[in-house]
Structure formats: C-alpha cells, structure tokens
Structure 1
Amino acid sequence: MAGDTKVLTTHVPLALAEKVDAIAMRLDRSRDWVMKQALAAWVDEEEIRHQMTLQALDDVDAVRVIDHQTVRAWADSLSSDEKLLPPRA
C-alpha cells in the first residue's frame, strides 16, 4: 500500500538535532518532514554511488582503465601553461 509507513528511530548529536529544528522552523515544516527529505536524498545519493562503484568494477574487469602516471601527468598539467587533454581509457 502506498500509505504504509514504518517508524525508524535514532539518536543524533544535539547540535545536529538543533540544526534540523532550525531548518524546520525556517521552512515552516515539521521536523519529520525535514528528516524524510534528508533521508530520501541520502538514500538516492548512496544508490548512485553504489551503481557507480559497480560500473567502475566492470570497467576494471574489462580493462577499461587509465594508469596512475597518465592521470598524474594530466592533473599536473592543469596548473601549467601546456594543459593536456583529459586521459581516456
């Protein structure tokens, strides 16, 4: 059901709780609403990070990698007058 919910509880540092309360007041929203927004955003970011990790592991398995020296040379060139193009696998 779309309306089903589950209560999750946690202890947070007082300073963090105070920041959540301040944001809730500023937005004229409940603490519950702020916490749901924050948790949903974190979960979305974590899912993206996980997918990127899986993709990176696939790239390693397929030997689609760039060696450290090539990346380092490119990074060092960014602060020089002769910038290199970004390396490609």
Structure 2
Amino acid sequence: MATRVLTAHVPIDLAEKVDAAAERLDRPRAWIVKQALKTWLIEEERRHQLILEGLADIDAGRTVSHEDMQAWAASLGSDNPKPRPR
C-alpha cells in the first residue's frame, strides 16, 4: 500500500497521551495516530450522511413544528407523556 506523510502540530498534552497509548499498547505512535484518524474519519462521514438525510427530510417537508417538539419534551417527565410528534 502506498503511503504519504502528513505532519501536524499538536498540543503537548495530546502528544503525551499518544505516547502513553503507544507504550501501553506496545504499538508505534504512527499506528495510534492512524487508528485515531481512521476512526474520526468514519465518524465524520457518518455525521455528514446524517446531515444530508436531515436536509433531504426538510426538502421533502418531513418536519415537526418547534412547538410540537417543545410540548412533547415537556411532557416526558410527567405522568401523561405525549406520543412522539410525527
């Protein structure tokens, strides 16, 4: 697999945490950084997809009014919670 070097300046406390994780896991620092970056990118892609899905819902008119949501949320701690707005 071809690779490319990326350089980043990170706060000292974060670098120290990477060092500690590398030592604890008996892995190189580069491995820790690659794992962290891979995980973050997967999570960021998922967030992006959820945003696109939400925007598509808005475009399609699948929304709930703010007032209905507030009334539902306010009822959650009561003896008579309202059904989730649709």
Sort the TM-score into its range (normalised by shorter chain): over 0.9
Report the TM-score when normalising by structure 2.
Answer: 0.93
Q: Unpaired runs of 5+ in structure 2?
A: none
Per the TM alignment, residue 32 of structure 1 is displaced from its structure 2 partner at its CA by: 0.6
Runs of 4+ with deviation above 3 angstroms: none
Per-residue CA deviation, residues 42-64 of structure 1 (Å, 9 max, x unaligned), is 10011111111111111111000
Per-residue CA deviation, residues 30-78 of structure 1 (Å, 9 max, x unaligned), is 1111100100011001111111111111111100001111111111112
Q: 1:30 corresponds to which residue?
A: 28
Report the TM-score when normalising by structure 1.
Answer: 0.90
Task: State how many pairs are aligned.
Answer: 86
Q: Unpaired runs of 5+ in structure 1?
A: none
Q: 2:80 corresponds to which residue?
A: 82
